Amino acid sequence: MHVSRCELLRWQFDLTWSLFEYHLERLEPADFLWEPASRCWTVRPDVEGTWVPDWAEIEPDPVPVPTIGWVSWHIGWWWSVTIDHAQGRTPRERAEIAWPGDGRTAIEWLRSLRDDWSAVLDRLTDADLDATAPAFPWPKDSKHTVAHTVAWVNSELMKNVTEIGQLRLLRAASG
């Protein structure tokens, strides 16, 4: 049986998303802003009421533990910018991408990004995978291809899904 690269990458994405749905369906509103440690990164409303993430241009050491809200914003940020590139739009800056403000809306946002990314994947051919990748998330003048970008999305999403799942399980176990 022959499986094309597009089919394999799509299968991997769909598998990762199915694992994410397991957790998305079980998240409670209070899960999103639960802080599991004294040193956390989360999302907070600014003076205008826009929900913004904690952020540092140089990652602190040790890295603060992110909340589910922060991780869901992080997914929304990198995925929105990746989709912007894939659809030929001017990519948004990190500061332009706000967290929606509550868990239910964040889940809807992530599902919408999943639909947008699925449309990108549906258009790709194996030949498209060999094209030069856009500049995000790679440095300029990298030798990465579209295939690298699709594989990176799968890997980054898998990592973030695991983080959200672990945080959800820890909160549930902590009572």
Return the pLDDT at 99: 98
| Mean pLDDT (the chain, rounded) | 95
Domain that holds residue 151: 5-55+62-174
Report which of 94, 32, 40, 101 is spatially closest to residue 68, judged by C-alpha positions.
32
DSSP 143-171: --BHHHHHHHHHHHHHHHHHHHHHHHHHH
In total, how many domains does the chain have?
1
pLDDT of 140 > 90? The answer is no
pLDDT in tens, 70-113: 999 999 999 999 999 999 999 999 999 999 999 999 999 999 99
pTM over 0.75? The answer is yes
